[in-house]
A and B are shown apart, each in its own frame.
Chain A
Amino acid sequence: GENVEQHPSTLSVQEGDSAVIKCTYSDSASNYFPWYKQELGKRPQLIIDIRSNVGEKKDQRIAVTLNKTAKHFSLHITETQPEDSAVYFCAARNYGGSQGNLIFGKGTKLSVKP
């Protein structure tokens, strides 16, 4: 089955700096890669996703890149703000066949210092 590795597990940046979180996946058939943000005590919520037919996607201060050959994808947050502090999870999903489940990485705790 799919295995998703996420690095780093913790990341601390100064407000205004950029943050990058990286993930690798094992199943070359995976074709959907979302990122979820989980604030303390809250539920995970989707912030951005990318599909295998796209190499990069941007939404304001966040962007995601995908390298299918290397089987890795990354989340980039620019001009970080204190409210970006949260745990971020990457995930991978294969819509083909009978497997539609979403496998998550272990998460990255991002702290943005004012």
Chain B
Amino acid sequence: DAGVIQSPRHEVTEMGQEVTLRCKPISGHNSLFWYRQTMMRGLELLIYFNNNVPIDDSGMPEDRFSAKMPNASFSTLKIQPSEPRDSAVYFCASSLGAGFNTGELFFGEGSRLTVL
């Protein structure tokens, strides 16, 4: 398996523009997570899906952020409009199940976003 695949790897955009980040989880994994990493705040959980259903989106900063998972093999994180403070590395991760005997999160390479 190629692992979790994210695109784009790098994005530079101007304030006010729409940004869409994409993620393909590992085949067969049914939990998907979006994290944001910054020096100041570390790894912050933005949203978590289980079986394509959003379970916890309490980490989504504000209405400018939205995430979807239309099927088991694809998820998007959208920022509209983007602001300089959104600059960060955004990681997508997937895991098999959410039960006690599962656990390891497999991270993608991350999408480095710079908003000018």
Contact = CB atoms under 8 A, between A and B. Distances in A.
Interface of A: 1, 31-32, 34, 36, 42-46, 49, 51, 89, 93, 95, 98-107
Given A43-B109, A100-B31, A105 B100 contact: no
Interface of B: 31, 33, 35, 41-43, 45, 48, 50, 55-56, 58, 91, 98-100, 103-105, 107-110
Contact of B42 (A34, A49, A104): A104
Contacts, number: 57
Given A100-B55, A101-B48, 15 more contacts: A1-B58, A34-B103, A34-B104, A43-B109, A43-B110, A44-B105, A46-B105, A95-B99, A98-B56, A99-B56, A100-B98, A101-B55, A102-B45, A102-B105, A104-B35
Contacts of B100: 31-32, 51, 95
B43 A107 contact: yes
Contacts of A100: 31, 48, 50, 55, 98
B33 A102 contact: yes
Contacts of B91: 43-44
Nearest to B112: A41
Contact of A98 (B45, B55, B107): B55
A102 B103 CA distance: 9
